[in-house]
Amino acid sequence: MKKIFLAGEWVLGQGKPTVSYFPADGTKNDEFSTASVEQVDEAVRKAHQAWQQPEWRFSLPSQRARVLWKVAELIEARVEELAALQTRDNGKPLSETRGLVMSAAQTARYMASVLDTLDEELTNQRASDTLTLSVYEPLGVVAAITPWNSPIASEMQKIAPALAGGNAIVLKPAELTSLVALRLAELFEEAGLPKGLLSILPGKGSVVGNALVQHHLVRKISFTGGTNTGKQLAHVAAERLISTSLELGGKSPTVVLEDADLELAVNGVIYGIFSSAGQACIAGSRLFVHQSRYDEFVARLVEKTNRLRVGHPEDPATQVGPLIDENHLRGVDAYVQQAKAEGGQVVTGGHRVTGNGLDQGSYYAPTVITGLSNSATVCQEEIFGPVLVVMPFESEQELVSVANQSVYGLAAGIWTENYRKAWQLARLLDVGTVWINTYKKFSISTPFGGFKQSGVGREKGRHSILSYMQQKSIYIGLDSTPNPWCEG
């Protein structure tokens, strides 16, 4: 049974053991122990002690950067091993998990680079007898909670900037996908991270996650996952007056304007919704196509969607792998049935995929639905699966109004040859990321986060390190004359 990583020590978790299963066929990957509430307390207390030590907290940025540089090298040297492990954990095709592993390496390397160039401030001087400056200091212990759909990338986007800022971090990975997080702990050990600064505590959110975010020594909550859980964590943070970073759900609109290159747009739309089997917060699940191009676009979309290769994630030819588990498949199918009940027409997909060795896995066909308005359930609630709803529009004014009619505001896509129009439309959409003539592309240097109920705060970019720090102002008196106020 796999052990947990508690403050730099590998120990058996005292919580209820759990099992990781391969979504492709339901076979057992591994059994591992989970943390108890008492072990959460121990991890946080040891993290607090480790953070208070000057060796890390007040170390030179270049010293902290060395650890991150080393981790990046170790990840790159183990790309195939880590990609295979994540594929076993959550069923994503190897082509995708290789990209996620490289993304994790790039995150560590980028944060290390930023550390070497992140300046503090000598503020504008307003008096001749006082020198004013501003410095950034670590918050302390960070509680991080990550999702199952992109574990290694999500985890590194929290661990790297938190450690770069001089903090300690206690990570609770998703219960279904803890194997990669535990492997990451080994790499940080090998890179020379001081003990206590990192803990990986698998377990249920209701047990481990709740004990972690409620702990009085935790100074920041960083969470990626569902909006309902994010709201609960926001309440916890508000009660405790600690900072949060919440990257939550989405129901992202994709827009095809009248002048769009249809071949470019069709391929981009298909990738935006059906890669990762739709299990992505930024999946372009609402598609708006100009009325004049609607019929032609839908015909091309269906034809290409039907050619997608649904298959075993370890098969190099596979484009769409399985959903995370059987429960999630049933939930996705329930949404499709709801769409049909509300008058939607399933023009392709809408069923489980079996045969060719796929019977034991949780595979669902890429699904395209027409005949619904934006008020339909499947247009308002996050499905987190390979389901796309296509709707026509006539005017851009109408489009903006309807596209923004969502509690979410994570991302959007625009397909057009007119960049002036694209720019204007991008500024009108209430979302945190807009892709123009591309989709689902990321850069670690570019901030990412959502509007409205898609989250609070930003990850990535130079300022992600500062989000794990607090600003302190220092005034230095330069006048040697005693303050005359006291002389009477």
Residues annotated catalytic, as ranges: 247
Residue 256 DSSP class: E
Quickly list H helices, 275-367: 294-306, 326-341
Q: Under 8 Å CB-to-CB from 111, ≥6 apart: which residues?
A: 65, 68, 160, 161, 164, 464, 465
Helix/strand/coil percent split, the chain, to 5:
40, 20, 40
Strand order in the sheet with 345-348: 345-348, 367-370, 387-393, 286-290, 253-256, 411-415, 433-436
Q: What DSSP designation does 484 have?
A: G
d(CA 425, CA 355): 44
Beta strands at 433-436 and 9-11: parallel, antiparallel or unpaired: unpaired
Dihedrals φ, ψ of 160, to 5°?
A: -65, -50
**Within a 10 A sphere around the Cβ of 55, how many other Cβ atoms?**
10
Provide the 8-state DSSP code for 445: T
Order of strands, edge to edge, in the sheet holding 198-200? Answer: 9-11, 4-6, 198-200, 168-172, 141-145, 218-224, 243-247, 455-456
Alpha-carbon gap, residue 157 to 146, rounded angstroms: 10
Rounded (10°) CA dihedral 260, 266, 267, 272: 100
- CA–CA separation, 181 vs 158, rounded Å? 12
Across 98-242, the runs of DSSP E, i.e. the strands, are 130-138, 141-145, 168-172, 198-200, 218-224
How far is the C-alpha of 353 from the C-alpha of 242, rounded, in Å? 46
